[in-house]
Amino acid sequence: MLKYIKEHMESITGIEIYPIISLLIFFIFFVVLFWWVISAKKEYIKNVSNIPLDNQNNTIL
């Protein structure tokens, strides 16, 4: 089964660019995420982390 898939993939021209593109998207996403976490304001992080504990806006249906 794997041999069939490998031979089929080798017959497609230009397919070698897709793993490179997916690696770049993956790498760029996590670099941007890391930058956002480092540059986020501490007050914003504190407010967001307290949302589950805030009982004033919670209503039970």
Residues 6 or more apart whose Cβ sits within 8 Å of residue 55: none
**Which three-class secondary structure state does DSSP give residue 39?**
helix
Digit-coded pLDDT (tens) for 31-60: 999 999 999 899 988 888 888 777 666 555
Gyration radius from the chain CA atoms:
23
Statement: the pTM of the whole predicted model exceeds 0.85:
no
* Residues in contact with 15: Cβ distance below 8 Å, sequence separation at least 6, in sequence order: 9
Is 29's pLDDT higher than 70?
yes
Is 70 exceeded by the pLDDT of residue 61?
no
